[in-house]
């Protein structure tokens, strides 16, 4: 552990916003993951910039975290600095049909505010259990909508601490992809362009999608959401079910019987359990159908 790094982190964000050997299982929806060497929660863009520049100067790897809803963290944890943009970084404003929001705001919170403002177009995202930053980074989508449909512009930071703005077109959005990882950028926030709508209709649509999620997805167990990307021409969940893998377990990791596209944590699953199960599922599906499943979940850590 570098005392100089620690002292500088304390100076930049304050001792209350730095935790040492913080269990990542507390910060992921899978409830899995070993300790992060340094866990830092900056309050604003200036603090974030200073932390990123410090990490680069000290040659310490860093990882940007939102709500931790689409990642599997190694049992050994994350060496280096985890920077969480979440509750401290969640301001928003609504003017006309434009919504400006910081990366750390939860999509469900933002969805409620957008509904109350009488704007439509965000309903598909309002039930996704993540932050705006993560949704923009991976072009999150559900029920026929994607972030690329509503993102007008994105505020970004590069790894030198420089601020950048890109239009939605410049983000090169595609299925579960944007330029964020390719170009080593950090999402600071986004401007969304929506349409005027009827609050009752918007509420009904959100309730309909929430019910669909509740009835079709294993929301009662920790998971990282949909485990596999949709292979072209197929549905991952159906391929897994038709391979006879519903309920298949490795340790406490299980293919959900409710929705085979989800791997769930039935108790004390380790990252190794989940990784083994994912490999088994991919191999079995390929053997039976010659279809290659790609994980949608991001693997992070040692």
Catalytic residue numbers, as ranges: 176, 226, 296
State residue 173 phi and psi, 5-degree precision: -65, 135
Instruction: Return the structure tokens found at 189.
Output: 């926030």
Instruction: Return the structure tokens found at 277.
Output: 């199960």
Q: Which residue has the tokens 């693997």?
A: 299
Q: Which residue has the tokens 């990784």?
A: 275
Helices (H), the chain: 3-13, 45-58, 107-116, 132-137, 179-182, 199-216, 236-242, 271-289
Find out whether 20 and 38 touch, Cβ atoms under 8 Å. Answer: yes
Rounded Cα gap, residues 33 and 173, in angstroms: 29
Helix (H, G, I), strand (E, B) or coil at 139: coil
Cβ-count burial of 288 within 10 angstroms (0-12 exposed, 13-18 middle, 19+ buried)? middle
- Angle 237-222-19 from CA coordinates, rounded to 5°: 135
Find out whether 4 and 58 touch, Cβ atoms under 8 Å. Answer: yes
Find out whether 297 and 69 touch, Cβ atoms under 8 Å. Answer: no
């Amino acid at each position: 552990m570098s005392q100089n790094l620690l002292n500088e982190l304390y100076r930049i964000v304050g001792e209350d916003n730095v935790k040492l050997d913080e269990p990542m299982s507390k910060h992921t929806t899978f409830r899995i993951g070993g300790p992060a060497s340094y866990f830092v929660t900056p309050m604003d863009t200036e603090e974030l910039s200073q932390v990123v520049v410090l990490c680069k100067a000290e040659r310490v790897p860093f990882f940007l975290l939102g709500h931790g809803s689409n990642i599997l963290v190694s049992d050994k944890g994350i060496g280096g600095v985890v920077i969480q943009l979440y509750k401290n970084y969640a301001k928003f404003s609504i003017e006309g049909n434009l919504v400006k929001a910081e990366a750390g705001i939860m999509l469900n919170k933002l969805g409620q505010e957008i509904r109350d403002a009488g704007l439509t177009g965000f309903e598909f995202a309002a039930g996704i259990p993540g932050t705006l930053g993560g949704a923009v980074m991976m072009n999150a989508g559900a029920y026929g909508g994607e972030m690329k449909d509503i993102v007008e512009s994105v505020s970004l930071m590069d790894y030198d601490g420089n601020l950048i703005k890109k239009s939605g077109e410049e983000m090169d959005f595609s299925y579960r992809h944007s330029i964020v990882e390719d170009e080593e950028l950090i999402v600071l926030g986004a401007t969304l362009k929506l349409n005027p709508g009827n609050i009752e209709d918007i509420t009904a649509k959100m309730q309909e999608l929430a019910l669909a999620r509740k009835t079709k997805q294993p929301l009662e167990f920790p998971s990282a959401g949909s485990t596999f990307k949709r292979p072209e021409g197929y549905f991952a969940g159906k391929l897994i079910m038709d391979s006879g893998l519903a309920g298949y377990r490795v340790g406490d990791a299980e293919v959900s019987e409710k929705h085979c596209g989800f791997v769930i944590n039935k108790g004390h699953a380790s990252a190794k359990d989940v990784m083994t199960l994912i490999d088994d599922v991919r191999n079995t599906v390929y053997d039976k159908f010659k279809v290659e499943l790609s994980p949608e979940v991001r693997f992070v850590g040692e």
